Amino acid sequence: MTLLTMLAVVVIAILRQRSLFGVVILSGIYSFLIASVLIALDAVDVALTEASVGAGMSLVLLLSTLHLVKTSEIKPWRSNLLPLATAFVVGAAVVWATLSLPPFGSPDAPIHKHVGPRYLQKSIEETGVPNVVTSVLADYRSFDTLGETTVIFTAGIGVMLLLRGRRKRGAK
Amino acid sequence: MSQLIAQLPALQVVVPLLGAVLVAFCRGGRTAYFVSLLVSLLMPVVSGLLLWQAIIAGPISYHLGGWQPPWGIEYHIDVFNGLVLMMVSAVGALVMPFAWRSVADEIDEDKQAWFYCMYLLCLTGLLGIAATGDAFNAFVFLEISSLSAYVLIALGRDRRALLAAFRYLIMGTIGATFYVIGIGLLYVVTGSLNIVDIGSRIAGAAAVYPHAVIAALAFITVGLGLKLALFPLHVWLPNAYTYAPSVVTAFMAATATKVAIYLLARFAFGVFGQAFDFRTLPVADIILVLSVAAMFVAAFVAISETDLKRMLAYSSVSQIGYITLGIGIANKPGLTGSIVHLVNHAMMKGALFLALGAVVYRIGSARLSDLAGIGRRMPWTMTAFTIAGFGLIGTPGTVGFISKWYLVAGAFAAGQWVLVFLIVGSSLLALVYVGRAVEVIWFRDTGPAAARATDPPPSMLAPILLLMAAVVYFGVETSLTAGIAERAAALLLGGLP
Amino acid sequence: MEAVHTLINHYNYVITIFLMVGGLYIVIARGNMVKKLVGLSIFQTSVYLLFISPAKILGGTAPILDPAYSVYSNPLPHVLILTAIVVGVATIALGLALTVRINEAYGTIDEDEVLEKDPEP
Amino acid sequence: MKFDLILRIGTKLILPFILLFALYVQFHGDYGPGGGFQAGVIAAAMVILMSLTFGINTAQRVAPRAMVERMVPLGVLIYAGTGVAGLLMGRNFLDYSVLGHGAHARELGIFLVEAGVLVTVAGTMCSLYYAFVERGR
């Protein structure tokens, strides 16, 4: 609960922060907090991923970008009303949707009754892997993971395509 | 042989993926091109066989990794997505011969190999979305196609292409995230990710958690609405299509938004249609209103555009309005019109954008003022352009007429007389913007920019003429397109009339 | 009392939604592209919590099978979110590369300033 | 920074342990948290740290750019190749059961695809870093 509250505080800080460097560092803090929350929620694999991929890698990339663009100040806000309204409508929609959901941590929720349990019961028998997240990731739903690897591949080639080669001033 | 047939669903997606991997190893553009060409030409064969199987033997279910759905991921191919696969791969194959010279002209030489890699990845992603029967798998492939699309757009020569790509990235990612929120809500209330399985469980879930189900519908609609450029979420589209390289514009305009529409229709009828009568939901009305707004507002903007590429981009937004209109009407003729327009619009826009690509290849501009009298210089290209343009209006004898015929029939059947007039009215607007272009192209004196232009080499002209032929052929012989679309609509609507 | 009870039961959701609104607001309202991308990643991260929270069973443990435990949290959402995180980072990387290129072409990374230099027709 | 002794020696000391940790995360992924994605990033982190303390040229001697760029598609090739093995043996794509008997085949399949993921992720992360850094030159 404390962690969750801290998350909210960090987001407010990011909102108000005018220095770009500050924003980037805060986003790193944010990622590590999320990773801690995820551990509390039993999602250790996800937490490790968020800490390495989310916090580590995107922080490195953000800082490299800052180094390249050499801008540190953010201009003051633009008109606020429309974005604020949009964001709140989305939030309200989720509130409305989640109020009727099963309470937190209840074992009777539908997701614990269908599909999920089979992985827990059969993982060792069928795949010999006790870490169920790994067996689902790399076997039961391994096609998703192939897609995910392809996403990384796409981003890698894409970024190199954009950043490699001689730079040309705006062609026009 | 039967072994091979059984593996077709996987091949449909895995072959372009492997192609992209091979291309990524290439250094030179030539090898990369030939691998891509081979793969792209193979794809329509595969999807043709799949569609044929789906027609004669009913839906195909392919279990990836050998795991039974809903535990594993399933490829579920019926008449509807068979048709979508066919369309995507056919367009993918047709733009490849065109690409050789056009890409050589527009993309730096050292980037060509990876350009083709991105192109194949985009194709992989689109085919993957269309083929999959798993809601989350669709998201993963949606991201593959989107990420590659952002890069492809950013490779345009104008620096504005960069900003267009960035904005598309922001809006596309918000859209994809909305889609994931919707999937998450559905998963929490049904416990499943398989689209068919969710459909069979959703009625029970809607009884217990009605709010979550409705919100899921809203999130999926808005998320996919961003991807498919549903008015007013279309703001990324005109700039992206205008500044992207010609081949990319032609390919994306014909396929990318269509696949998102396919997914929306699949969810609207295949999932939520199992719990509610889609027509009674406010979502259907909202889609109707927005579609009509798109048909008119975007067409008005198209009329005032001076850049033909941009005009056609707005025309796309307007035409997407027709497709979503059929989804909003949600009866059999209406939905048939929607599905058949999905395919027909791909042919027309493919032909139009490729013809423009040929113009850009010759004179380096697509501004209306530079095109004065170009019809006499590039007669074949411009004939194709004109005929496909007539298709947009809905002239009898072209595919556009068939789509509108079904849409009007759907509006009649639903008792929505106003819609009939609106469809006709919007066609008049199309007449204005197409007519304006046609007038400049054929009836003005040849300007200095157009004077030196000639028809492009056969490798570029052939795809354009083929698409033109398709626009006419399927405008007369409708059993293949509209016939299949009718079956697909019947399948989606299930018990509904 | 009822309301407080509901709030506590759904505290995860409350914070998730706050993060979602905040992230989305940063994305839409900010002209600075790097900050937009940071907002985008906050928005995406909030979705991770939306998925992971329902997977938790009180008294359960991480889904790594061991004879000492019998109740585990649901592994499937974890797998999905692992995928989503990776996809998110890929998107951010691409967005940053575009930002760098825009900065080279325009000399600024503020969307408004870019639009001033290249007005929309 | 190039002459900061503590930093240089400290980095040298820590580098092998980062690599060891990456390998642990990779190969212990069956029994504890971890897998190809996390290990790939940690391995790439080693290269990035090296480049931060010793300069990018040193890092590129250890992990040459041409190599990491080839790793990007190579990993996907390993992954998809594992899947194609299923296809060639007459089973479905990504069906690992053709690789051996019972659960062992599955374990082998998981090992192979995780290796593919490691290669792609490590390659991509290094390539991304190089691409950004070299743009600044």
Instruction: Note the pLDDT tens digit of each residue in B46-73.
Output: 999 999 999 998 888 999 888 888 888 9
Q: Quote the minimal CA–CA distance from D128 to chain A in Å.
A: 6
Question: At a CB cut-off of 8 Å and minimum separation 6, what does D43 contact?
Answer: D18, D19, D22, D118, D122
B208-220 tens-digit pLDDT: 888 888 889 989 9
- In D, minimum Cα distance to A133 occurs at D33
What average pLDDT does this structure show over D77-81?
A: 92
What average pLDDT does this structure show over B152-157?
A: 91
State yes or no: pLDDT of B420 exceeds 60. Answer: yes
Question: At a CB cut-off of 8 Å and minimum separation 6, what does B302 contact?
Answer: B311, B312, B314, B315, B318, B429, B433
Q: Quote the minimal CA–CA distance from B3 to chain D in Å.
A: 7
What average pLDDT does this structure show over D91-102?
A: 81
CB atoms inside a 10 Å sphere around CB C71: 12
B-D Cβ pairs (cutoff 8 Å, strict) = 46
Looking at beta carbons, which pairs linking B473-476 to residues 24 or more positions away fall under 8 Å?
B474/B344, B474/B347, B474/B399, B474/B402, B475/B391, B475/B396, B475/B397, B475/B398, B475/B399, B475/B400, B475/B401, B475/B402, B476/B397
Interface test with A, best of C2, C50, C79 (most A CBs within 10 A): C79
Q: Which of residues 41-100 of C touch A (CB under 8 A)?
A: 41-42, 45, 48-50, 52-66, 71-83, 85-94, 96-100
What domains can be seen in chain A, in order of their start residue?
Answer: 1-74 (1.20.120.1200), 109-167 (no CATH)
What average pLDDT does this structure show over B177-200?
A: 90
Interchain proximity B188–C76, CB inside 8 Å: no
For residue D17, what are the domain limits?
A: 5-135
Interchain proximity B162–C102, CB inside 8 Å: yes
List the subunits that have 3+ CB pairs under 8 angstroms with A: B, C, D
CA distances from B193 to A144, B137, B189, B219, B259 (A): 12, 9, 11, 16, 19
Say if A30 is an interface residue toward chain C (CB within 8 Å).
Answer: yes
The predicted pLDDT at position A169 comes to: 44
The predicted pLDDT at position D7 comes to: 83
Interchain proximity C97–A162, CB inside 8 Å: yes
Q: Which of residues 52-111 of A touch C (CB under 8 A)?
A: 53-54, 57-58, 61-62, 64-66, 68-69, 71, 74-75, 77-78, 80, 82-84, 86-88, 90-91, 94-95, 98-99, 101-107, 109, 111
* Among D73, D86, D90, beta carbon nearest to B24: D73
Q: Give how far the C-alpha of residue A145 lies from the chain's centroid of Cα atoms, to the nearest Å.
A: 16
**Quick one: what percent of chain B has pLDDT higher than 70?**
99
What are the tokens at B321? 């309005």
Interface test with B, best of C33, C50, C74, C94 (most B CBs within 10 A): C94
What is d(CA B9, CA B89) in angstroms, rounded to the nearest whole number? 13
What average pLDDT does this structure show over B110-135?
A: 92
Q: Which CATH class is domain C2-117?
A: mainly alpha
Letter for the amino acid at C117?
Answer: K
What average pLDDT does this structure show over A41-60?
A: 87
Interchain proximity A153–B137, CB inside 8 Å: no
List the beta bridge partners of residue B52.
none
pTM listed for this prediction: 0.94
Q: Quote the minimal CA–CA distance from D113 to chain B in Å.
A: 12
Residues of D in contact with C82 (CB under 8 A): 37
CA distances from A99 to A110, A144, B272, C12, D6 (A): 16, 31, 20, 12, 55
A73-124 tens-digit pLDDT: 666 655 667 778 888 888 888 877 777 777 666 777 777 777 777 888 877 8
Residues of A in contact with D47 (CB under 8 A): none
> Alpha-carbon dihedral of residues A88, A90, A94, A95, nearest 10 degrees?
20
Label residue B244 by pLDDT band (50, 70, 90). Answer: very high
Who has greater pLDDT, A167 or B36? B36
- In A, minimum Cα distance to D108 occurs at A127
- In C, minimum Cα distance to A81 occurs at C29
- In C, minimum Cα distance to A154 occurs at C90
- The domain total for chain D is 1
B423-433 tens-digit pLDDT: 999 999 999 99
The domain limits of chain C are 2-117
What length is written for chain C? 121
Interchain proximity B147–C91, CB inside 8 Å: yes
Residues of D in contact with C93 (CB under 8 A): 128
What average pLDDT does this structure show over D51-69?
A: 88
